[in-house]
Amino acid sequence: MISASGRQKVLYSISETNDESTDDIYDYMHINNELINTCKHKYWPTVFDSGLITQQVSSVIFFVVIFIYLDNKTLEPGDVLYGNALLILLGLCFYRWLNLPFGVRLWKDNLKTLSAFILFGFMVSPVIATLTKTISTDTIYAMSTIMMLAHLIFYDYGCETAMVQKALSFSAALFSAVCLASRLATSLHTFTMVSCAVLIFTVGSELRKLVKAESLKTFIFLTIIHVILCIIFLSRLSFIHCFLYGISVLLLTFICPKWLISLQKYKTSMRGPWDEAEISLDK
């Protein structure tokens, strides 16, 4: 350690008696000043980035709304499946429009995956439909709520922390979907529900990430569409939920970034000789 006077403090010259007076208090205090502000956020980019969270929350709401409509027979499973197919085609066009690579091979691969999914989906739907017959509906609802929350918490919003668990997040969403699907009347309903889940939580979320990387304007536009659709759907179900959703979107998009930025000044760290050295291994 270098003392305030610039002299290296050493252990080997300590005299026989424990001489405390040689310890200069200021030697130890000057390190206190080495506070470093570690990172800076700007307001508007943070607001735009928060769109990813808004979109993900909205997707979960879409999914639940579809479940409710299917459950109270407002929607027929066939219609939803047509809608899904339409959405896939729309997404495909969107993908092309973003000028992302798309060759014959990818086309073939995708068709293969799609046919495998439809085949297996139809095969296991009757099993899923009766999977939770013995479990009470309340339990299932509670379970799927928790799983959806887990999905939202561990979802990869683009920052690299220990919180991000892509596999866990996706499994939680699918688990929740299967739970909800097993409450529905027929196996076609179940299949519809599972296909919606796959569409929303895998294909949809991947596409959103691509959009975010490619064009910010489209991404913001997409966020707005999500919010508007969500409000329309929710307002038909219940006013109070719609209101809550609106409030939370405002909070998430405008107030939380402000809060995050105002908290940045507390994010300091002290550096000193005690820190573990970092080695660069490129040599």
Partner 1 sequence: MTNKKIHHICMVSDFFYPLIGGVENHIYQLAQCLIDLNHKVIVVTHAYNDRVGVRYMTNGLKVYYLPFVPFYNNATLPTVFSTIPLIRCVLLRENVTIVHGHSSFSTLAHETMYHAKTLGIRTVFTDHSLFGFSDISSVITNKVLQISLVDCHHVICVSHTCKSNTMLRANLSSNDISVVPNAIDSAVFVPDTTKRSNERITIIVASRLVYRKGIDLLIGVLPKILKTYPNVEFKIAGNGPKEIDIQEVREREAYEERVQLVGSVSHDKMNEFLNSGHIFLNTSLTEAFCMAILEAAACGLLVVSTKVGGIPEVLPSNDTNSDIMILCEPDVQAVYIGLCKAIERISNGNGPEVSEWHEKIKHWYSWKKVAIQTQTIYNNISEKVPLTLNDRLKRYKRCGSISGIVMSFIAIVSYFIVIFLNYTQPIHLIDDASGYTREKFELAYELRRQNDKKTK
Residues that bind partner 1 (CB under 8 A): 1, 8-14, 16-18, 20, 23, 25, 27-29, 31-32, 269-270, 272-281, 283
Radius of gyration of the chain (CA): 27
Straight-line distance from the first to the last Cα atom of the chain, in angstroms, rounded to the nearest whole number:
29
Residue 31 or 256: the one with the smaller Cβ distance to partner 1 is 31
Q: Which residue type is seen at 88? A: I
Least Å distance, CB 10 to partner 1, is: 5
Smallest distance from partner 1 to CB 276, Å: 4
Q: Considering beta carbons, is residue 12 or 44 the nearer one to partner 1?
A: 12
Spatial neighbors of 63 by CB under 8 A, at least 6 apart, are: 177, 196, 197, 200, 201
Give min distance, CB of 30 to partner 1, in A.
Answer: 9
Least Å distance, CB 154 to partner 1, is 17
In a 13 Å sphere around the CA of 227, the CA atoms on its Cβ side amount to 21
- Element (DSSP H or E) covering residue 36: strand 35-37
Q: For partner 1, give the closer residue by CB, 11 or 159.
A: 11
Cβ atoms 169, 47 nearer than 8 A? no
Query: Cβ distance 212 to 52 under 8 Å?
Result: yes
Q: Which is nearer to partner 1, 20 or 160 (CB)?
A: 20
Query: Least distance in Å: CB of 100 to partner 1?
Result: 38
Name which of 14 and 114 has its Cβ closer to partner 1.
Answer: 14
Q: What's the min distance (Å) between Cβ of 181 and partner 1?
A: 38
Identify which of residues 23 and 214 has a Cβ nearer to partner 1 in the complex: 23
Is 266:280 a contact under the CB 8 Å cutoff? no
Nearer to partner 1, 29 or 263 (CB): 29
Write the CA distances from 222 to 48, 94, 251, 274, integer angstroms. Answer: 11, 11, 19, 48
Tell me the C-alpha distance between 75 and 152, whole Å: 26
Quickly count: other Cβ atoms within 10 Å of residue 93's Cβ.
Answer: 10
Residue 41: partners with Cβ closer than 8 Å, 6 or more residues away: 257, 260, 261, 264
CB of 40 to partner 1, least distance (A): 17
CB atoms inside a 10 Å sphere around CB 120: 11
